[in-house]
Amino acid sequence: MLSAVKSELVTGSLLIMAAAPADYTPVSVSPVKIKKEEGEMQLLLKKTPDILKNIAAGIKAGEFSNIFTVGFAVETNNPEEYAISKLKDKNLDMICLNDVSQTGAGFAVDTNIIVIYSRDGSKLQLPLLSKQDTAERIFDSIEQQLKKLP
């Protein structure tokens, strides 16, 4: 997926990475169906490439230019600390914190509570909103940040 994302980026792109497709992948893949047997099975996993971090490194190295990057941080503990850390570590322009431990936020509901952190240090706390309204407010925030760019 990393190569597919890289192949689509052009100067002036807006890259929004909502979530990692998978943090881990199997070390090996069976060529045949694995039959159910008695006892337990162990599955060995390896980390997958961090797509957004790789793109940010490519921007820093000059591989890409003028790319506005937005990431998401889905967290349950120390959410602000982890979101700001990801913003800096991945060299993002913006990160949207989704603290799924809050009532009304997360994946199994139609609402969300998002905090948007920007590279310039600004922070925007969105209230409990429908996911549609949340998305619209995120895009409004992106638009405001893009207007600040030279």
Name the CATH superfamily, with its identifier, for domain 10-27+39-53+66-148. CoaB-like (3.40.50.10300)
Is the four-CA dihedral 131, 77, 87, 71 of positive or negative sign?
A: negative
In this prediction, residue 47 carries a pLDDT of 93
Please give the pLDDT value at position 18.
Answer: 82
Rounded CA separation 43/67 (Å): 37
Cα separation values, 41 from 37, 38, 45, Å: 9, 9, 13
Dihedral over alpha carbons 106, 107, 109, 115 (to 10 degrees): 30
Contacts of 1 (CB under 8 A, 6+ apart): 21, 51
Q: Give the pLDDT of residue 114.
A: 95
Other beta carbons less than 10 A from residue 106's beta carbon: 16
Q: Which residues of the chain, if any, have pLDDT below 70?
A: 20
Tokens representing 143 are 């638009």
In the prediction, which pLDDT does 105 show? Answer: 87
